[in-house]
């Protein structure tokens, strides 16, 4: 009962992380069902209709019910600690936001319990496919209203995060002494406030079409294109809402295992602000093939967004350059993120070019690009964050050997699954098809992709064993900073922290207060150099 009614940001963060991971497993099982279906030509285990439901709910779960609450979980747990706050600004609102997310997401997923099954129109809900004529099932209505409810939780959470960061920083914690992760949470929350109301309005309008015959998204009135504009104005910033917090996690891990402060701290913040700003100017690159958008503008803006992303990589590599590197599990996951995200970024630049996009749109090339960027960011940085902050969450260190086994099996499985999908896309295999002909020549690469997917699925098992083993046999952490070189404020309190986070706050004189506290002699040298 204590957990059901808690307003402690740490417990709410834990509930977000656990709920998100449960959805991750459910979405992953759907992905494995799809890959099993596509391993060979012919229908094996699912009908066309079931396949449509599987890819719709896989995408919806992974983006809106796994990645979004995962960000909120990390932000809830770590952000108040990093700014020296005793809790978030609105603890009860925080609790409400969690329950809205959980009930909304559950309502959307419960479509599987209805006679006609879950929503089957793809996670974009393109009109007129999503109207009452073409998708009459109750599962579609549950999806629309469930996601709208969950979206309200995201909006309330964003208000809470912004207020906490602006109003509740500890004495001495100026804006430009905040950790990069906190900056990323702030900018992500601002993006949520900009785009989630647009999604909510569009979803309610769509439900009015379905139930009251309001004809807002009728194709004859240009409604199909209107839906795409509304949806992608949410949908593209959404992928940056997912990416930015995980960029923040990576930015916390790299300096600790490079034994150096972040290289180009101000430049990194400027790049993050630029990415957040540009992310709301590129939505129509999803609509090149409609013929209804200004190609030069959206192409140029999409190319432009690669520049601040490149600056971030420059900062991360600059931090590692000539550092005293050690490759403990969090750093290993971070390097995996850097490599995977570079691949995704390069294919993004290819797709930003309209002539290339005309050829590759709605093919498996887009599926591969999307998974390299989103999986490469969210899942790799998630495991980096879990291994990095697990002692802060639980007071115990995760097993290094099991962490490295998880990393290598997941990495091999992931690249085997998705690297070959680029070639499938170039050869012309469309996304969202449940079947293909042997004569198409897609069989060998699809079989390879499916083998990779099952290896990827198996790679999660060592992580589960790791969590169980650590909980049962792990030794409690004795120090505030088990890594020895933690820089931000969460490493200046016990593992796990007390109810209101700090017994006493250290002086905050730089962007590395915990490091200054534990290594005063180096802090003096750094202060003199400044």
Please write the tens of the pLDDT for every residue from 160-173: 999 999 999 999 99
Tell me, rounded to whole angstroms, the distance of Cα 69 from its chain centroid.
Answer: 9
Widest CA span of the chain, in angstroms? 72
Statement: residue 523 has pLDDT above 90: no
Q: Which two tokens stand for residue 70?
A: 């995962």
Q: Per residue in 187-220, is it b (16+ CB within 10 Å) or e — as a string?
A: bbbbbbebbbebbbebbebbbebbeeeeeebbee
Mean of pLDDT values over 358-362: 97
Q: Which residues lie below 8 Å from residue 507, measured CB to CB, with a gap of 6+?
A: 172, 513, 516, 517
Instruction: Evaluate if pTM is beyond 0.85.
Output: yes
Distance CA 56, CA 68 (A): 17
Q: Which residues lie below 8 Å from residue 77, measured CB to CB, with a gap of 6+?
A: 9, 10, 13, 14, 17, 389, 392, 393
Q: Which residues lie below 8 Å from residue 374, measured CB to CB, with a gap of 6+?
A: 62, 63, 67, 239, 242, 243, 344
Q: Which two tokens stand for residue 523?
A: 């802090």
For residue 286, which of 248, 237, 341, 328 has the smallest C-alpha distance?
Answer: 237
Q: Which stretches does DSSP call E strand in 87-137?
A: none
Q: Which two tokens stand for residue 162?
A: 């912004």
| Tens-place pLDDT, residues 74-91 | 999 999 999 999 999 999
Q: Per residue in 45-58, is it b (16+ CB within 10 Å) or e — as a string?
A: ebeeebbbbbbbbb
pLDDT at residue number 524: 77
pLDDT band at 497 (very low <50, low <70, confident <90, very high): very high
Q: Which two tokens stand for residue 395?
A: 């007071």
Identify the residue whose tokens are 């379905």. Answer: 210
Mean of pLDDT values over 27-56: 97
| Tens-place pLDDT, residues 170-196 | 999 999 999 999 999 999 999 999 999
237, 249 in Cβ contact below 8 A?
no
Distance CA 85, CA 90 (A): 12
pLDDT band at 525 (very low <50, low <70, confident <90, very high): confident
- Three-state SS for 454-504 is HHHHHCHHHHHHHHHHHHHHCCECCCCCCCCCCCCHHHHCCCCCCCCCCCC
Tell me, rounded to whole angstroms, the distance of Cα 209 from its chain centroid.
Answer: 31
| Tens-place pLDDT, residues 147-161 | 999 999 999 999 999
Q: How far is CA 409 from CA 412, 452, 462, in A?
A: 5, 10, 9
Distance CA 395, CA 524 (A): 30
Identify the residue whose tokens are 């709920």. Answer: 19
Statement: residue 527 has pLDDT above 90: no
Mean of pLDDT values over 296-311: 97
CA atoms within 13 A on the CB side of 175: 9
Q: How many residues does the chain have?
A: 530
Q: Which residues lie below 8 Å from residue 529, measured CB to CB, with a gap of 6+?
A: none
Mean of pLDDT values over 12-22: 98
Phi, psi values for residue 508, rounded to 5°: -110, 105
Q: Which two tokens stand for residue 172?
A: 């001495």
For residue 434, which of 53, 25, 5, 27 has the smallest C-alpha distance?
Answer: 53
Of 53-57, 287-291, 298-302, 505-509, minimum mean pLDDT range: 505-509
Mean per-residue pLDDT of the chain:
96
pLDDT at residue number 530: 66
- Three-state SS for 382-412 is HHHHHHHHHHHHHCECCCHHHHHHHHHHHHH
Phi, psi values for residue 134, rounded to 5°: -90, -20
């Amino acid at each position: 009962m204590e957990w059901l009614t808690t307003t402690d940001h740490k417990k709410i963060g834990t509930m977000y992380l656990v709920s998100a991971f449960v959805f991750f497993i459910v979405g992953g099982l759907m992905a494995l069902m799809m890959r099993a279906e596509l391993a060979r030509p012919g229908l094996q285990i699912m009908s066309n209709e079931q396949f449509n439901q599987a890819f719709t709910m896989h995408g919806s779960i992974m983006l809106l019910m796994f990645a979004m609450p995962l960000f909120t979980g990390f932000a809830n747990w770590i952000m108040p600690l990093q700014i020296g706050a005793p809790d978030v600004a609105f603890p009860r609102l925080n609790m409400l936001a969690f329950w809205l997310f959980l009930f909304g997401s559950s309502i959307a997923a419960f479509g599987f319990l209805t006679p006609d099954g879950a929503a089957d129109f793809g996670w974009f809900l393109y009109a007129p496919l999503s109207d009452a004529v073409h998708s009459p099932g109750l599962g579609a209505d549950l999806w629309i209203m469930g996601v709208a409810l969950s979206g309200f939780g995201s909006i309330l959470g964003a208000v809470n995060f912004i207020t906490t960061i602006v109003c509740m920083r500890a004495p001495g914690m100026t804006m430009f002494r905040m950790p990069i992760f906190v900056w990323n949470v702030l900018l992500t929350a601002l993006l949520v406030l900009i785009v989630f109301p647009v999604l909510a309005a569009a979803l309610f309008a769509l439900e009015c079409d379905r139930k009251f015959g309001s004809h807002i998204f009728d194709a004859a009135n240009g409604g199909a294109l209107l839906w795409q504009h509304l949806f992608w104005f949410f949908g593209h910033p959404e992928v940056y809402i997912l990416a930015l917090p995980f960029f923040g996690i990576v930015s916390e891990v790299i300096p600790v295992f490079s034994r150096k402060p972040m290289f180009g701290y101000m430049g990194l913040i400027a790049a993050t602000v630029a990415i957040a700003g540009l992310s709301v100017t590129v939505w129509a690159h999803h609509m090149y093939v409609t013929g209804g958008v200004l190609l030069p503008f959206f192409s140029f803006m999409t190319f432009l967004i690669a520049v601040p992303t490149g600056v971030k990589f420059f900062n991360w590599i600059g931090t590692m350059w000539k550092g005293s590197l050690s490759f403990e599990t969090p750093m290993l996951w971070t390097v995996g993120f850097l490599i995977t995200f570079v691949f995704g970024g390069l294919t993004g630049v290819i797709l930003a070019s309209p002539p290339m996009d005309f050829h590759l749109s709605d093919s498996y090339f887009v599926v591969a690009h999307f998974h390299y960027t989103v999986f490469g960011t969210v899942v790799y940085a998630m495991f980096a964050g879990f291994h990095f902050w697990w002692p802060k969450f639980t007071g115990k260190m995760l097993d290094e050997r099991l962490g490295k086994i998880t990393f290598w099996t997941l990495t091999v499985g992931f690249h085997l699954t998705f690297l070959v999908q680029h070639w499938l896309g170039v050869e012309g295999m469309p996304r969202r098809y449940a079947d293909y002909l042997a004569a198409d020549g897609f069989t060998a690469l699809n079989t390879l992709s499916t083998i990779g997917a099952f290896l990827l699925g198996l790679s999660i098992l060592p992580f589960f064993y790791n969590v169980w083993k650590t909980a049962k046999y792990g030794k409690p952490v004795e120090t505030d900073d088990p890594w020895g070189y933690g820089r931000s404020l969460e490493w200046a309190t016990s593992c796990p922290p007390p109810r209101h986070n700090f017994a006493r706050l250290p002086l905050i004189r730089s962007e590395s207060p915990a490091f200054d506290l534990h290594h005063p002699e180096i802090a003096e040298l750094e202060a003199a150099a400044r």
